[in-house]
């Protein structure tokens, strides 16, 4: 028997997708020992937006959260999501920062680091891969799944071979928008299993309404691990429900072996917590809507929320459909970047600007200019030459790895934050989120932790859900 392994995402992507990453450490800790007995392959508990949210909204030290989780989880591997050279931020960091962050993440309790690059530019993952291997953690490279004339099954097979050759221990198909269809999943998993001899994991979102079907077809094709979330933090823009998948798999040739009674007990603990966030307005029922348009426009659920927010602020909600149609055009112009953080926000904002200005690329955000200059990495396909000239004129496009242009940063930031940093982990927090971390350190010093969660911050923050 070859059981399907399950990675539980409720404590990271599940609540990131549905309640803007607002689960507190206090809410997480009491259920951990029970979750540790289930038999999961891994618990995804850190990385993604959790780090930022701890500091920005919850007045918590993300490093302390990780240490407290590790104390209680003795048998199950702990997993985090890392954006390659971007770490947990939204820009490239120098290699010394990337190496130190990974070392400290593992030292504080992480076993598996899932690393990806928004452009699938392997150069932006190399430093992370080497650092993960050096400290003895499990390196799982994720391929950011999207659809375009260049993003074919052979493209993903070649990318996977390259990542395994660099040292990736496992491969994750990261379908951040929920656009991987069942039969394509079967073909992709089949071809990846033929191409490499490492476990294949599949991560998707329920936004378009097909995720559970996609999982079942992937299981038939031999996928080794799937990502699910406990039912209170499942479905909608999150992952399929753990309990439902366990029951479905129990009647297959590859049952997961997870204890459904224990899972039901965990769900009962989480239900009232979700209700609390429903009552205080952080959980927006709209994130539970099935949005088949995702399959057409390839827009992640969190990106849809951001588009609506931007248009509402401009009094232009009537332009929503026009913006949705503009997004694929912008993607094509820019060489078909996958719509995952930070590219999803960048492409979405450019589409809004194009529509509201009444002229394409009349207004261009700084981030898009930097992308066109090559500062985020290599675009999957060539950027439209006419559009490139309109955006950056005759400015030079870099062809080197973007991080090669960065000076080492740790000593500089260590000196900058000074005695406010009580540990090296604090220095790393400051490097990633300078203003937010500094305020956190100052409040900590004064013992002054006040709730300060503005509604506009919540709306903005939901955009970083993938």
Q: Which CATH superfamily is domain 5-280 in?
A: Aldolase class I (3.20.20.70)
Residue pLDDT, tens place only, 253-290: 999 999 999 999 999 999 999 999 999 988 888 889 89
Average pLDDT of the residues in 207-225:
97
Average pLDDT of the residues in 218-237:
97
pLDDT reported for residue 291: 85
CATH topology of domain 299-403: Cyclin A; domain 1 (1.10.472)
pLDDT reported for residue 126: 98
* Identical fold between 5-280 and 299-403: no
Q: Comparing 25-39, 195-209, 339-353, 366-380, which segment has the lowest mean pLDDT?
A: 339-353
Residue pLDDT, tens place only, 155-185: 999 999 999 999 999 999 999 999 999 999 9
Residue pLDDT, tens place only, 90-103: 899 999 999 999 99
Domain range summary for the chain, segments of one domain joined by +:
5-280, 299-403, 407-446
Q: pTM for this one?
A: 0.93
Nearest partner of 238 among 270, 213, 205, judged by Cα: 205
What does the radius of gyration of the chain's CA atoms come to, in whole angstroms?
Answer: 21
Contact present, 339 and 146 (Cβ < 8 Å): yes
Residue 110: half-sphere exposure toward Cβ, Cα within 13 Å: 30
Residue pLDDT, tens place only, 62-75: 999 999 999 999 99
Q: For the chain, give the percent of residues with pLDDT over 70.
A: 95
């Amino acid at each position: 028997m070859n059981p399907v392994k399950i990675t539980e995402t409720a404590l990271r992507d599940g609540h990131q997708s549905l309640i803007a990453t607002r689960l507190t450490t206090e809410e997480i800790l009491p259920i951990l020992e029970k979750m540790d007995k289930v038999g999961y392959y891994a618990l995804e508990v850190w990385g993604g937006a959790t780090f930022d949210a701890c500091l920005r909204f919850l007045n918590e030290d993300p490093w302390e959260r990780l240490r407290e989780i590790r104390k209680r989880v003795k048998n199950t591997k702990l997993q985090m999501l890392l954006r390659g050279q971007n770490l947990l931020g939204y820009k490239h960091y120098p290699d010394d920062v990337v190496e130190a962050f990974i070392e400290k993440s593992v030292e504080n309790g992480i076993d598996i680091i899932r690393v990806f690059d928004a452009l699938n530019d392997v150069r932006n993952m190399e430093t992370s891969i080497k650092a993960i291997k050096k400290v003895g953690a499990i390196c799982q490279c994720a391929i950011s799944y999207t659809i375009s004339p260049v993003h074919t099954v052979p493209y993903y097979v070649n990318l996977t071979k390259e990542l395994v050759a660099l040292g990736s221990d496992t491969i994750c198909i990261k379908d951040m928008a929920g656009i991987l269809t069942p039969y394509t999943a079967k073909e992709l998993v089949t071809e990846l299993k033929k191409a490499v001899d490492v476990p294949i994991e599949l991560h998707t979102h329920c936004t378009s309404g097909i995720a559970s079907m996609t999982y079942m077809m992937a299981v038939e094709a031999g996928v080794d691990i799937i990502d699910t979330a406990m039912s209170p933090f499942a479905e909608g823009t999150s992952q399929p429900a753990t309990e439902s998948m366990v029951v479905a798999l129990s009647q297959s040739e590859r049952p997961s072996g997870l204890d459904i009674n224990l899972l039901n007990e965990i769900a009962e603990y989480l239900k009232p917590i979700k209700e609390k966030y429903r009552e205080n307005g952080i959980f927006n029922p709209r994130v539970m809507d099935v949005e088949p348009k995702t399959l057409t426009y390839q827009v992640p659920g969190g990106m849809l929320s951001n588009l609506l927010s931007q248009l509402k602020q401009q009094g232009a909600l009537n332009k929503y459909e026009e913006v949705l149609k503009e997004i694929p055009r912008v993607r094509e112009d820019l060489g078909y970047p996958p719509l995952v953080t930070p590219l999803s926000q960048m492409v979405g904002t450019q589409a809004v600007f194009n529509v509201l200005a009444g002229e394409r690329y009349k207004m261009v955000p700084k981030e898009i200019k930097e992308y066109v200059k090559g500062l985020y990495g290599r675009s999957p396909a060539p950027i439209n030459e006419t559009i490139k000239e309109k955006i950056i004129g005759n400015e030079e496009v870099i062809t080197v790895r973007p991080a090669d242009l960065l000076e080492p940063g740790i000593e500089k930031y260590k000196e900058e934050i000074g005695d406010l940093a009580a540990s090296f982990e604090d220095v790393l927090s400051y490097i990633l989120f300078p203003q937010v971390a500094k305020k956190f350190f100052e409040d900590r010093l004064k013992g002054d932790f006040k709730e300060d969660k503005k509604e506009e911050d919540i709306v903005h923050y939901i955009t970083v859900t993938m």
